[in-house]
């Protein structure tokens, strides 16, 4: 019973067996069709038709018969399919046959096929087609319209006389070499077609799986991968889905825990601040308050980061330059001028508020640590690229690789009152990755920092 169910199940083995069986059945069917409707294409090759033996026998007989019986003999040997005519040496047709022009390739291939059968009965062997003018000679005359495929063989005997054999209709198929070549080409083409279909059948579910794994790698909260394809692949998908669910649970637990710790730290911190009021040494008190404020900022930063991460803003269609313009206008209100270069309208599908936070953050960084930046939006067939460049000091090469680490702050940030807690770029990275995009930071050769956000154009982000 289990055995039977296993066979009916969609497995790789079953797919392979089905493909091969179908290919074999179709091949057999096609061959049968060819044999039935293939006309002379499907006919046997000339050696198998018996025609050559017939020509050889008749020509041998006529070559030894006395001249006076040769014509009646030739007439008697003629049938509906093959016509024999004999011409005396020196006759007009014999002369025409002697001086006619034969196509070298026809002669070569004809002699190759018939030479062995005729042996030394004839001193000359000249095959020709109905197109050759000599075929219209009065003694031979075959109606070219009625028999367009007529094929001739002119044999000259030792006494100078000629025997012309005319196969009126082609009863043979390809010659052996042509047939082999054709069979080989057809077989290779057929194998390629079948393999393509079979491998497409196999590769499609694997591609879906790879795409699903890529998505869930980018965003662990993306929906489970669809279970399609043969059983073995479905098993892999199920395992990956289970693993993804575990990772999701792990991340949620960890986030909840960190959020809870950050939240709970606020209360003792408030108590420390209150107790600090009783410190009499003003300088010590100021230092303590600075530390408390810094911790408070870190906790607030962490909490807002977790909040952003947990908020499930819906995907919508919106105007990308529109968002950038809003940010630029907000800064213009504070007399900070930011240049924008790029198209006026680009429709994008994503999470507009999250992306606005990313770009605001990047512009704010430039304003805080460098100069008001310029924003360039460019489009390639695959991506929308937003480059935010400033003319500030950039980030030392030794530190640039760490900018996306949580709580990373450069010296410029530490030394300033305005410095954040070092979660801005971390949270930008998370948002951009959730859109299937990438974010990179580089020091520009001409000075200043360039932050580049590449967002994929296709709407298949989770």
Please name the residues in contact with 351: beta carbons below 8 A apart, sequence gap of 6 or more: 313, 314, 315, 316, 431, 434, 435
Which of 365, 374, 431, 461 lies at the binding interface for ligand ADP (CB under 6 A)? Answer: 365
Part in contact with ligand ADP (CB under 6 A); list of ranges 54-62, 171-179, 330-338, 419-427? 419-427
Is 108 exposed, middle or buried, given 0-12, 13-18 or 19+ CB atoms closer than 10 A? Answer: exposed
Which of 110, 205, 352, 392 lies at the binding interface for ligand ADP (CB under 6 A)? Answer: 392
Q: How far apart are CA 217 and CA 205, in angstroms?
A: 18
Q: Between residues 137 and 390, which has the closer beta carbon with respect to ligand ADP?
A: 390
Ramachandran angles phi, psi of 173, nearest 5° = -95, -140
Closest Cα partner for 149 from 74, 78, 100, 82?
Answer: 82
> Which of positions 423-462 make contact with ligand ADP (CB under 6 A)?
423-426, 449
Q: Between residues 250 and 407, which has the closer beta carbon with respect to ligand ADP?
A: 407
Closest Cα partner for 302 from 174, 423, 187?
Answer: 423
Smallest gap from Cβ 398 to ligand ADP, in A, equals 13
Smallest gap from Cβ 337 to ligand ADP, in A, equals 16
Please name the residues in contact with 348: beta carbons below 8 A apart, sequence gap of 6 or more: 317, 318, 319, 320, 384, 455
Which of 102, 157, 172, 369 lies at the binding interface for ligand ADP (CB under 6 A)? Answer: 369
Smallest gap from Cβ 415 to ligand ADP, in A, equals 10
The β-bridge relationship of strands 449-456 and 347-350 is unpaired
Q: Between residues 127 and 394, which has the closer beta carbon with respect to ligand ADP?
A: 394
Site string for ligand ADP, 325-364 (x = CB under 6 A): ------------------------------------x---
Q: How far apart are CA 82 and CA 164, in angstroms?
A: 10
Extract long-range pairs of 191-195: CB within 8 Å, 24+ residues apart: 194/19, 194/22, 194/23
Part in contact with ligand ADP (CB under 6 A); list of ranges 95-103, 195-203, 337-345, 404-412? 404-412
Based on the shown chain and the rule CB under 6 A, indicate whether residue 408 belongs to the binding site for ligand ADP: yes
Part in contact with ligand ADP (CB under 6 A); list of ranges 34-42, 111-119, 156-164, 391-399? 391-399
Based on the shown chain and the rule CB under 6 A, indicate whether residue 413 belongs to the binding site for ligand ADP: yes
Which of 165, 354, 421, 439 lies at the binding interface for ligand ADP (CB under 6 A)? Answer: 421
Collapse the DSSP code of 113 into the 3-class scheme (helix H, G, I; strand E, B; otherwise coil) and give the result. Answer: helix
Q: How far apart are CA 129 and CA 148, in angstroms?
A: 9
Smallest gap from Cβ 368 to ligand ADP, in A, equals 6
Based on the shown chain and the rule CB under 6 A, indicate whether residue 296 belongs to the binding site for ligand ADP: no
Strand order in the sheet with 124-129: 82-87, 162-167, 151-156, 124-129
Part in contact with ligand ADP (CB under 6 A); list of ranges 121-129, 185-193, 409-417, 430-438? 409-417
Q: Between residues 441 and 455, which has the closer beta carbon with respect to ligand ADP?
A: 441
Distance of alpha carbon 148 from the chain centroid = 48
Query: Residues, the chain, total?
Result: 462
Q: Between residues 99 and 398, which has the closer beta carbon with respect to ligand ADP?
A: 398
Smallest gap from Cβ 349 to ligand ADP, in A, equals 26
Q: Cα dist. 409→116, 191, 298, 385, 399 in Å?
A: 94, 62, 12, 26, 9
Contacts with ligand ADP: how many residues (CB under 6 A)?
24
Smallest gap from Cβ 410 to ligand ADP, in A, equals 2
Smallest gap from Cβ 327 to ligand ADP, in A, equals 15
Please name the residues in contact with 373: beta carbons below 8 A apart, sequence gap of 6 or more: 338, 362, 363, 366, 367, 388, 389, 390
The β-bridge relationship of strands 339-341 and 374-379 is parallel
Which of 139, 224, 419, 462 lies at the binding interface for ligand ADP (CB under 6 A)? Answer: 419
Smallest gap from Cβ 369 to ligand ADP, in A, equals 4
Which of 173, 420, 436, 437 lies at the binding interface for ligand ADP (CB under 6 A)? Answer: 420
Reading the block at residue 220, the tokens are 């662990």
Part in contact with ligand ADP (CB under 6 A); list of ranges 40-48, 179-187, 318-326, 387-395? 387-395
Strand stretches in 123-246, DSSP E: 124-129, 151-156, 162-167
The β-bridge relationship of strands 383-389 and 82-87 is unpaired
Q: Between residues 320 and 449, which has the closer beta carbon with respect to ligand ADP?
A: 449
Residues binding ligand ADP (CB under 6 A): 361, 365-366, 369-370, 390, 392, 394-395, 403, 408-410, 412-413, 419-426, 449
């Amino acid at each position: 019973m289990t055995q039977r169910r296993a066979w009916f199940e969609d497995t790789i083995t079953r797919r392979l067996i089905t493909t091969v069986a179908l290919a074999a059945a179709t091949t057999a069917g096609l061959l049968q069709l060819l044999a039935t409707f293939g006309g002379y294409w499907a006919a046997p090759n000339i050696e198998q038709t018996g025609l050559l033996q017939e020509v050889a026998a008749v020509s041998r007989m006529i070559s030894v018969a006395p001249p006076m019986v040769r014509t009646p003999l030739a007439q008697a040997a003629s049938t509906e399919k093959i016509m024999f005519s004999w011409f005396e040496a020196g006759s007009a047709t014999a002369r025409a046959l002697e001086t006619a022009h034969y196509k070298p390739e026809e002669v070569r291939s004809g002699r190759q096929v018939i030479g062995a059968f005729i042996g030394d009965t004839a001193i000359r062997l000249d095959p020709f087609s109905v197109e050759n003018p000599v075929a219209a000679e009065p003694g031979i005359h075959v109606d070219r319209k009625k028999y367009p495929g007529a094929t001739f063989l002119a044999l000259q005997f030792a006494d100078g006389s000629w025997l012309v054999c005319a196969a009126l209709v082609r009863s043979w198929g390809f010659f052996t070499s042509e047939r082999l070549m054709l069979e080989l080409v057809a077989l290779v083409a057929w194998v390629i077609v079948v393999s393509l279909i079979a491998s497409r059948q196999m590769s499609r579910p694997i591609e879906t799986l790879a795409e699903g794994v890529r998505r869930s790698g980018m965003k662990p909260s993306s929906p489970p991968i669809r279970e399609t394809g043969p059983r073995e692949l479905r098993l892999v998908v199920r395992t990956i889905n289970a693993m993804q669910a575990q990772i999701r649970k792990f991340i949620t637990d960890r986030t909840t825990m960190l959020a809870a710790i950050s939240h709970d730290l606020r209360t003792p911190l408030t108590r420390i601040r209150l107790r600090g009021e009783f410190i009499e040494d003003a300088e010590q008190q100021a230092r303590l308050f600075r530390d408390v404020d810094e911790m408070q900022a870190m906790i607030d930063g962490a909490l807002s980061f977790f909040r952003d991460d947990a908020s499930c803003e819906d995907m919508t269609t919106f105007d990308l330059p529109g968002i950038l313009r809003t940010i630029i206008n907000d800064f213009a209100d504070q007399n900070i001028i930011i240049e924008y270069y790029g198209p006026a309208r680009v429709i994008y599908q994503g999470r507009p508020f999250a992306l606005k936070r990313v770009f605001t953050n990047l512009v704010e960084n430039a304003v805080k640590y460098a100069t008001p930046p310029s924003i360039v939006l460019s489009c390639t067939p695959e991506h929308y690229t937003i480059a935010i460049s400033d003319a500030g000091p950039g980030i030392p090469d030794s530190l640039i690789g760490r900018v996306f680490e949580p709580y990373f702050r450069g010296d410029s940030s530490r030394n300033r009152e305005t410095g954040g807690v070092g979660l801005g770029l971390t949270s930008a990275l998370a948002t951009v990755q959730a859109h299937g995009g990438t974010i990179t930071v580089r020091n520009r050769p001409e000075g200043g920092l360039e932050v580049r956000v590449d967002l994929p154009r296709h709407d298949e982000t989770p």
